[in-house]
Amino acid sequence: MIRPHQALFALCLCFIPVTKAADPVRTPNVAPKAVQDLLTIDNGTIRVGLDREMGASITWLSWEGYPKNMVNIHDPGRLIQQSYYAGKSLDRGADGQSKSWNPWAWNPIQGGGVGSWARVTTFERKSPRLLYAETVPKLWDMPDEEAEAVMRQWTGFDEERPDVLEVRCELLCQRKPGDRWGPALPRHQEVPALYFTRNFSEFQSYLGEGKWRTESQPPGPPWGKAVPPKKAIACFEKGGQGIAVFSPTATEHWNFGPHAGGNSPDPLAAPCVHLAPISKVNLGPRSTLSYRYWIVVGTRDSIAKRLDQLWAKYSDETFELKNP
């Protein structure tokens, strides 16, 4: 369980942001591919899977009311995954940095970088209810450059609610002090970054007690920005099935919106929808950041009931930051 770290949390909130999390949809020069090495758990209500070939990110999510996969896996920048920013934005064009992402900060991505997928070092089913993985992420802006970092992730079912997933994420920064990106700067972090199939394009912020607020945004990027009062936004498809993300450690706005047109349910399609709760954190060369978030699936009414329960239990939870 992540414990609050109130002093460091308050310190982070005092900084003025230097940059925001990236708006562009991530489309690197790497071909889409079908799921290759999927490790899953299934409790009869939800099926969730991690793919070793895709950085052990969450690449499969389905449930009783929606038995198809709804995670967009078009490229390494999509998926449901960890994504962080730190240090100065650098022009590394002479070293082969992508022209589309120049200049760019230190940006480790769990799925992978431009033209490459991340390397997984630990990949296991801890129990019928829990998956665990460790990933050496890639730097987004460079072709096949591993970040000096390790990402750990625990993905499992909520003990009391069969239609809820609990995901714990941890980033261990292992940069050399005094490297080219420099010391810690305040940056917006995606906690986490989520990409769904394009048909889940109805966005609603949860207001509590069964009430919702529709959030509208034309196809982007740039993405829309919303501030959900209960730290939860849901995406629904026309049949009434939805997925909500509850991220109590988010301190800023949430990025959201559709990308491209149509209403495709295809996980490999380029069109998608995006959602990202944002926290402001100053990650240093040797920082460790931990946080939790929850995913709730089902109908609007069933999701509202679960979000009220989660808010009552976890609304005061914060991230934990060591060596800021």
Quote the mean pLDDT of the chain: 91
User: How far apart (Å, rounded) are the C-alpha atoms in residues 224 and 218?
Assistant: 8
Q: How far apart are CA 223 and CA 151, in angstroms?
A: 26
Does residue 179 sit within a domain? yes
Residue 179 confidence (pLDDT) above 80: yes
The model's pLDDT over 78-120, given as tens digits with 9 standing for 90+, comes to 999 999 999 999 999 999 999 999 999 999 999 999 989 999 9
Per the structure, the complete domain to which residue 257 belongs is given by 6-322
Q: Quick check: is 35 in a domain?
A: yes
Tens-place pLDDT, residues 244-271? 999 999 999 999 999 999 999 999 999 9
Query: Which pair of structure tokens corresponds to residue 270?
Result: 């380029």
Which pair of tokens denotes residue 221? Answer: 């990027």
pLDDT at 18: 35
**Domain annotation covers residue 290:** yes
Is 277 part of any domain? Answer: yes
Q: CA-to-CA distance for 234 and 106, rounded, in angstroms?
A: 30
Domain with 220 in it: what CATH number?
A: 2.70.98
Tens digit of each residue's pLDDT (9 = 90 or more) over 48-89: 999 999 999 999 999 999 999 999 999 999 999 999 999 999
Residue 23 lies in a domain: yes
- Rounded alpha-carbon distances, angstroms, from residue 163 to 202, 230, 245, 264: 20, 19, 12, 24
- Backbone Cα Rg of the chain: 18
User: What pLDDT, on a 0 to 100 scale, did the predictor assign at position 26?
Assistant: 60
* Count of structural domains, the chain: 1
What distance lies between CA 313 and its chain's CA centroid? 22
Tokens 């409790």, residue located: 43
Global pTM?
0.90
pLDDT, tens digit (0-9, with 9 covering 90-100), for 11-39: 333 333 333 344 556 655 454 555 568 99
Cis previous bond, 28, omega within 30: no
Q: What is the pLDDT of residue 34?
A: 55
More confident residue, 307 or 21: 307
The reply to whether 1 falls in a domain is no
